[in-house]
Structure 1
Amino acid sequence: MFLYMLIYMAYHSSRWIPRSKRLKFQIVNVVFTALVLVPQFVILGSPKSSRYCNQPLLNNLSASIALSFIAAGFSVIFTLTDPVPQSLWASYHVFGLLTCGHGLSTAVLTLTAASCAKTTPELYCMSLFLTVASIFSTAFFLLRGALWLAKRPSVMDLSGNNER
């Protein structure tokens, strides 16, 4: 869910900037994309990462890199397109489900890979970071969803007065 949240924040941050000046925001977008991708590539290319680990953390990192590229594409499209078509919103939410599944699998792999902390420390630390980031972003969206539900008028209000 971490990548899903980054796209969400890029979209809402870009809406504060006038449409004619969003090109400058794309530079910030590239910097954030680099901050997400470069550490993953460094760890993927590290010789220590190819050592034996009883969990497929290296495969999980490869999936994370692929999802990061997709997230970079979504953030660029969302910050340049106004209004965003419904079909793009739908694909973004499907991507959110994919990142949720990836975050869940990363958490399970990280929790069961304690021995990998000694054999592949950088890979294990990256997996741990992705797990923590996924937990925080999931909590963010759960809180956001709860606030959205609290703000909606009640379906059970039979008086006909649905205004709050």
Structure 2
Amino acid sequence: MLHYMLVFMAYHSSRRIPLNQRLKFQVVNAVFIVAVLAPQLFVMGRPKSSRYCRQPLLNNLAISVALSIVASGFSVIFTLMDLVHQSLWAAYHVFGLLSCAHGLSTAILTLTAAPCAKTTPELYYMSVVLTVASTFSTGFFAVRGGLWLTKSQWMMGTGRAGE
């Protein structure tokens, strides 16, 4: 859920800025996009990354790069629009499901790819970083969802469901 969280953070950070000044936020957004994509592209371009590894870590990294590019598109669109259309929100949430599936597959591949640390070290450690980041972001959304459910149950119990 790493990529889903990146868009979430960009959207909620930009909402604190007036609409006429959000274009300035795009500079920060562009720097952040480069900071996320550059290490992934660097590792993908390394000669050692193409060596044999039992797990398809290189393919997984390619998917991560693709999801990072899509996430950057969502973050640009969401930060520039004042009212985001419901179909765009739906597409974003489907993207979140894909991001969750990718995080889960990254964790499984990384946990079963310990021998790859010797043959493809940069690729393996990038996979470890992506696994940790995905685990952190999934935990964030699990806590956030739990708090939301608690709040909605409390509102239903007090008869204040419309608030």
The TM-score with structure 1 as length reference comes to: 0.95
The total of aligned residue pairs comes to: 161
Report the CA distance between 1:86 and its aligned residue: 0.5
1:40·1:65 contact (CA, 8 Å) conserved in 2?
yes
Ranges in structure 2 where 5+ consecutive residues have no aligned partner: none
Between structures 1 and 2, the one with greater helix share: 2
Query: What is the rounded CA distance, in whole Å, between the counterparts of 1:68 and 1:91 in structure 2?
Result: 15
1:103·1:131 contact (CA, 8 Å) conserved in 2?
yes
Match of 1:62 in 2: 62
Query: What is the rounded CA distance, in whole Å, between the counterparts of 2:156 and 2:44 in structure 1?
Result: 53
Deviates more, 1:148-157 or 1:94-103: 148-157
AA partner of residue 2 (structure 1) = L
Match of 1:163 in 2: 160
AA partner of residue 17 (structure 2) = I
Query: What is the rounded CA distance, in whole Å, between the counterparts of 1:105 and 1:41 in structure 2?
Result: 20
AA partner of residue 92 (structure 1) = Y
Partner SS, residue 152 of structure 1: helix
The TM-score with structure 2 as length reference comes to: 0.95
| Moved segments of 4+, more than 2 Å | 153-157
Query: What is the rounded CA distance, in whole Å, between the counterparts of 1:84 and 1:156 in structure 2?
Result: 28
Equivalence map 1:1-164=2 (5 Å) = 1-153=1-153, 157=157, 161-163=158-160
Query: What is the rounded CA distance, in whole Å, between the counterparts of 1:116 and 1:153 in structure 2?
Result: 47
